Amino acid sequence: MNILVTGATGFIGQYLVRQLRREGHTVRCLIRDKQRAIELFDTQNLEYVIGDITDKRTLANITSNISVVYHLAAIMGHDLPSESAFRKFREVNAVGTKNIAESCIGNSVQKFIYVSSTAAMGLLKNNPIDEKTTCRPVTPYQVSKYEGELVVKRLTDEHGLPGIIMRPSMVYGVGFKGDFLTIAKVAKTGFFPKIGFRKHLSPALYVEDLVDCLSTAKEKAVVGETYITSSEVSYELGRVVRIIAEQLNLKVRMFFVPKLLALLGAWVLERTSLLRGETPLVTVRNIRSATTDRVFDIGKAKRDLCFQQKMSLEDGLKKTIEYYESVGYL
pLDDT tens readout for residues 195-244: 887 788 999 999 999 999 999 999 999 999 999 999 999 999 999 999 99
Assigned domain for 264 exists = no
163 within a domain of the structure (yes/no): yes
Segment 181-203 mean pLDDT = 89
User: Can you give the chain as a three-state secondary structure string?
Assistant: CEEEEECCCCHHHHHHHHHHHHCCCEEEEEECCHHHHHHHCCCCCEEEEECCCCCHHHHCCCCCCCCEEEECCCCCCCCCCCHHHHHHHHHHHHHHHHHHHHHHCCCCCCEEEEECCHHHHECCCCCCECCCCCCECCCHHHHHHHHHHHHHHHHHHHHCCCEEEEEECCEECCCCCHHHHHHHHHHCCCEEEEECCCCCCECCEEHHHHHHHHHHHHHHCCCCCEEEECCCCCECHHHHHHHHHHHCCCCCEEEEECHHHHHHHHHHHHHHHHHCCCCCCCCHHHHHHHCCCCCECCHHHHHHHCCCCCCCHHHHHHHHHHHHHHCCCC
| Statement: residue 45 has pLDDT above 90 | no
Q: Is 285 exposed, middle or buried (0-12, 13-18, 19+ CB in 10 A)?
A: middle
Q: Indicate whether 300 belongs to any domain.
A: yes
Report if residue 190 sits inside a domain. Answer: no
- The reply to whether omega before 162 is within 30° of 0 (cis) is no
Look at the alpha carbons of 232, 180, 16, 75 in this order and tell me if their dihedral is positive or negative.
positive
> What confidence score (pLDDT) does residue 54 get?
95
Residue range 168-174: average pLDDT?
96
Please report the pLDDT score of residue 169 as a whole number: 95
Nearest to 137 by CA among 73, 195, 101, 94: 94
Q: What is the pLDDT of residues 116-147, one digit of tens each?
A: 999 999 988 888 999 999 999 999 999 999 99
Q: What is the pLDDT of residue 326?
A: 96
For residue 146, give its domain range. Answer: 2-176+202-233+295-310
Query: Could you tell me the pLDDT band of residue 299, with boundaries at 50, 70 and 90?
Result: very high
Mean pLDDT of the chain: 93
Per the domain annotation, does 261 fall within a domain? no
pLDDT at residue 159 above 90? yes
pLDDT of residue 52: 95
Model confidence at 190: pLDDT above 80? yes
CATH code, domain carrying 79: 3.40.50.720
Distance spanning both ends of the chain, measured CA to CA: 41
Mean pLDDT calculated for residue range 233-259: 93
**Per-residue confidence (pLDDT) for residue 81, from 0 to 100:** 84
At residue 197, the pLDDT reads 78
pLDDT higher than 90, residue 276: no
What's the domain count of the chain? 1
Is the pLDDT confidence value at 182 over 80?
Answer: yes
Q: How confident is the model at residue 265 (pLDDT cuts 50, 70, 90)?
A: confident
Domain presence at residue 256: no
Q: What residues form DSSP beta bridges with 28?
A: 4, 47
pLDDT digits (tens, 9 = 90+) for 53-96: 999 999 989 999 999 999 999 999 888 788 999 999 999 999 99
Task: Look at residue 34 and tell me whether its pLDDT is greater than 90.
Answer: no
Domain assignment of residue 255, yes or no: no
User: Does 189 map to a domain?
Assistant: no
